[in-house]
Amino acid sequence: MYEFLNSSNSDEFENYVLTHENGSFMQSRLWANVKGNWESVGIISRDVSGNVRGTCLVLIRKTPLLRSALLYAPRGPVCCHSDDDALRDIAAGIDAIAEKYRAFAFLCDPPIVIPESSVLTAAGLRTQRLPEEHEIQCHFNYVLDIREKTLSEIRAGFKPEYRNRINKAQRRGVWCEELSGEDALNALGDFCELMTQTGKRDGFPIRSKEYFARFISELGEHARLFMCYADIDGKTPLSGAIAVSYGRRFSYVYGASSDCWRNFYPNYLMQQTMIDAAIKSGCRVYDFGGVPFCYDESRREYGIYRFKKGFGGEIVSYAGQFAKIYRPVLNRAAQLFSEFAR
């Protein structure tokens, strides 16, 4: 049986996502508050004893022009992906939401690897074979196993030149601050200035300061802002990152750096500081985030992978994006509109 998220089962929902092996902050009820331009519905599946055995946060993006909606579960659903009963419950809940909102499609991208992908057919989902640049979440992530390890043990796996650059950063007076709550919000001006420089340099759209403030405020104790500074004409911001410590995973979500003072190597010290914070938080995995086109050195994005792989982790290849199409004509119309807007 399934039920929808409400005030009486909200804590159960959150605790299940927080403690589950496949749980992600993007399936937390808190994430729905971050994505303020989407509506949301949570689904809970229970076994015959009433215990929670699966959850799914579904974001809803209405398309008034089509009088329809897109449903999306980022990194969901959360359950044992071999539990057909839980998946069928969740699928029934998604069908009910799709009927209410006259949805044209449901999309999801659970954190499962390719050999496990066939289990989602129990929920009526099918793999979408999309070009990597059209997937919502990156197909490849770079992760570092930090369970039961010290920072010294992790550092031993860094490339020698990375350890050298971290030492140089410290000798040149760079320091990294870990901030949360009001302290993080007060430092957002520095971070957003760095993000503006990074977006212009690397050619990607930049989110607003209001978005980052909502991100930090809504995720609360899980959100962290890391800022690297040096005393150059006063306290000068060199790099910054927003990260999330949620359950067993510490995720590097947004990063930015100055166009100047590259030879101070702040990004290297910042990553070490975040890995140290992840260890102290008791997380098992440090997630560097996506490494798009990590297999193609000719792509500009390959530089992201080149930087991250020096820290001694490994690539995880997820199964990708899955879909259930409810209204094929409206779905195609939405795709055409999206391509035209792009």
Check whether residue 154 and residue 235 sit in a common domain: yes
What residues contact residue 196 under an 8 Å CB cut-off, 6+ apart?
206
Check whether residue 200 and residue 306 sit in a common domain: yes
Looking at residue 342, its pLDDT comes to 47
Collapse the DSSP code of 255 into the 3-class scheme (helix H, G, I; strand E, B; otherwise coil) and give the result.
Answer: strand
Check whether residue 285 and residue 309 sit in a common domain: yes
pLDDT, tens only, 133-163: 788 899 899 999 999 999 999 999 999 999 9
Check whether residue 175 and residue 126 sit in a common domain: no
Partners of 3 in the β-ladder: 44
* Phi, psi at 265, each rounded to 5°: 50, 45
Assigned token pair, 199: 């977006």
Check whether residue 81 and residue 197 sit in a common domain: no
Check whether residue 225 and residue 337 sit in a common domain: no
Partners of 143 in the β-ladder: 287, 314
DSSP string, 171-189: HTT-EEEEE-HHHHHHTHH
Interatomic CA distance for residues 213 and 215, integer angstroms = 5
Q: How far is CA 118 from the centre of its chain?
A: 23
Looking at residue 119, its pLDDT comes to 63
Looking at residue 118, its pLDDT comes to 61
Looking at residue 1, its pLDDT comes to 86
Q: How does DSSP classify residue 143?
A: E
Find the domain containing 12 and state its range. 2-136+319-341
Q: Taking the chain, what is the end-to-end CA distance rounded to the nearest angstrom?
A: 41
Check whether residue 152 and residue 294 sit in a common domain: yes
Check whether residue 128 and residue 145 sit in a common domain: no
- Does position 117 have pLDDT exceeding 70, yes or no? no
Check whether residue 250 and residue 197 sit in a common domain: yes
Q: How many domains does the chain have?
A: 2
Check whether residue 23 and residue 70 sit in a common domain: yes
Check whether residue 181 and residue 289 sit in a common domain: yes
Domain containing residue 33: CATH number = 3.40.630.30
Check whether residue 312 and residue 337 sit in a common domain: no
Average pLDDT over residues 77-81: 89
pLDDT, tens only, 15-36: 999 999 989 999 999 999 999 8
Q: How far is CA 159 from the centre of its chain?
A: 26
